[in-house]
Amino acid sequence: MKETYRVIGVMSGSSMDGVDLAYCEITQKNNQWHYTIKVAQTFPYDEKWRIRLSQLYKQYIEVFPKTHAYYGRFLGQLLNQFIKENQLEVDMIASHGHTIFHQPKSGFTAQIGDGAAISAETGLPVICDFRSMDIALGGQGAPLVPIGDKLLFEEYEACLNLGGIANISFTGLNETLAFDICPCNIVLNRVARWLGHAYDDAGRIAASADYDPMLLEKLEALSYYQTKGAKSLGREWINEVFWPVIKSFPDTGETEKMATLAQHIARQISNVINQSGVQKILLTGGGTFNSHLIDLIRKQISAELVIPDALMVNFKEALIFAFLGVLRVNNQVNVLSSVTGSKQNHIGGALYGDYTKLI
């Protein structure tokens, strides 16, 4: 295998703030993996793309493959711009895509962003569709990041990501455990938009109001939080289970709902941390900048939350998908059954373009 790979990791999360591109150098020496994020940039979605992605799940059937291809071309064009502006030499692209459907109990998941279209636009090898193999093997198809946490961030006992959905991984000697904890930015951003904001900057909206204890009690009672073992959340669960609880309190004001959501997210995360017994946690994702939410969490735990620099906070997931791509082209395991609940550890990811020079 090559010693060093120059990879662009591409990530679009459920919070739908934009496409994260991270140009990374990933090296293996003496059986140890090393990484550097050389250049990274977020390309925000305009309102047209945000609406198109958020509404795709309920469009006519032919709209889905059309958007899948068109979104792939869109990503390819963003990548070409990113590569040209930064004069980058790139070996390959590893793209998570954007999740439209995630129903592991029904045996399927779907991330749009056609890898063939990305490869055609850029002329580069592309690895994508990292989740489907795990679903086929009976797993949740998520989370996928924990193997990167295990191999790249071994100095931390756990890694907590506050993205559209809050998720955590625990890295031990014998196995790695991980799961989605609760909705996070995907619900906070929606309430912020009700109030005319793109997001709740530093949690100021939530901090300005009292939470509704009855609404909080209803949210805390949701059955997902009592489920043990491998589990993951999708937009379907949020729309069908979570939001109906919020809507069942029409007399609770929007700022109070924001305050309640912050309390709920902090409680669920704190419960998981306290039950796990870990003491040193790497914290990343956009929710890391929500200082009110972080304060609420810190008040309920004894563990240390380590917040890295903004580059790592914003682009850790894009980095790890770049790493998953490197593992894929070298036929190394990049999905852990202890995390997803699948039948076995395995290799996930579809390949497009000429990748023979990478191995």
Three-state DSSP class for residue 331: coil
Mean pLDDT of the chain: 95
* Rounded Cα distance, 324 and 334, in Å: 6
Is pLDDT of 172 > 80? no
Residues 6+ apart with CB under 8 A from 268: 166, 181, 182, 220, 225
**Residues above pLDDT 90, as percent of the chain:** 91
We find that the CATH architecture of domain 147-310 is: 2-Layer Sandwich (3.30)
Q: What are phi and psi of 312, to 5 degrees?
A: -70, -40
Domain boundaries, given as residue ranges, for the chain: 4-140+312-358, 147-310
Residue range 227-249: mean pLDDT, rounded: 93
Count CA atoms closer than 13 A to 100's CA, side-chain side: 22
Per-residue confidence (pLDDT) for residue 359, from 0 to 100: 72
Per-residue confidence (pLDDT) for residue 270, from 0 to 100: 98
Strand (E) or helix (H) holding 26:
strand 18-29
Could you confirm whether domain 4-140+312-358 is CATH 3.30.420.40? yes
Per-residue confidence (pLDDT) for residue 15, from 0 to 100: 80
Residue range 94-112: mean pLDDT, rounded: 95
Strands of the sheet containing 158-162, edge to edge, are: 176-183, 165-171, 158-162, 280-284, 304-306
Domains 4-140+312-358 and 147-310 share a fold: yes
Is pLDDT of 72 > 80? yes
Is pLDDT of 219 > 90? yes
Residue range 72-89: mean pLDDT, rounded: 98
pLDDT tens-place string over residues 191-209: 999 999 999 999 999 999 9
Other CB atoms within a 10 A radius of the CB of residue 304 amount to 14
Other CB atoms within a 10 A radius of the CB of residue 239 amount to 12
pLDDT tens-place string over residues 259-314: 999 999 999 999 999 999 999 999 999 999 999 999 999 999 999 999 999 999 99
Per-residue confidence (pLDDT) for residue 230, from 0 to 100: 86
Better-scored residue on pLDDT, 173 or 156: 156
Per-residue confidence (pLDDT) for residue 30, from 0 to 100: 86
Encode 135-155: b = buried (16+ Cβ within 10 Å), e = exposed.
bbbebbbbbbbbbbbbbbbee
